[in-house]
Amino acid sequence: MHSSAINSRWVYVLFGVVFFALFAAPDFVGSAATGWTSAAFGAVAVGYVALLNTRSGSALLGQPVRPRRQEISGRFRRYALLTLLAVLLVGFAVQLLPPHWHLGVPYWRTAVGTVGGAALALFGPRCQRALLSVALRGSGRVGKIAVDGPR
């Protein structure tokens, strides 16, 4: 299908390990790690986006092509933006809850990091492929109509 618009497997494994490490850091390093892990998540996200927007970076990530913006359906774009907004609002709401909202479960961050990192490493390419097929208009079409050439 659009296999050249999907990141390499090693990218998902690496991000799964980084996700686990940043989530589990406060459980093993201490509460001081809570402050710098948020900045580290931001730095990883900005670095990933910067790599995807350059020819050499996207080739390094194993994604030499990407879908044309015109081919991504408006409906999918709206749902994606609403989903991102909902996730952000939930994140802000969680911060407003009492400090012990996790009910004293030991190593809960490690458990969340393990499940999230493993899911990202195992199901990342499949999820990206599914989202790409839903996002593209007339997803049965392949070739220059739906996907940009090498960047």
Looking at residue 99, its pLDDT comes to 64
State how far the alpha carbon of 66 is from the alpha carbons of 27, 91, 135, in Å.
38, 29, 12
> How large is the average pLDDT for residues 56-64?
81
Indicate the residue type of 20: F
| This prediction's pTM | 0.72
- What is the residue-averaged pLDDT of the chain? 80
* 123-126 CB contacts, 8 Å cutoff, 24+ apart: 124/7, 124/9, 124/11, 124/12, 124/15, 124/16, 125/6, 125/7, 125/9, 125/12
Nearest CA to 22 out of 119, 117, 118, 122 is that of: 117
Confidence of residue 14 (pLDDT cuts 50, 70, 90): very high
pLDDT of 125 higher than 70: yes
Q: Write out the two tokens for 101.
A: 């909202």
The proportion of the chain whose per-residue pLDDT surpasses 90, expressed as a percent, equals 19
CA angle 17, 22, 28 (to 5 degrees): 105
Confidence of residue 1 (pLDDT cuts 50, 70, 90): very low
Looking at residue 137, its pLDDT comes to 67
Q: Write out the two tokens for 98.
A: 């009492």
> What spatial distance separates the first Cα and last Cα of the chain, rounded to whole Å?
19
Of the two residues 100 and 129, the one the predictor is more confident about is 129
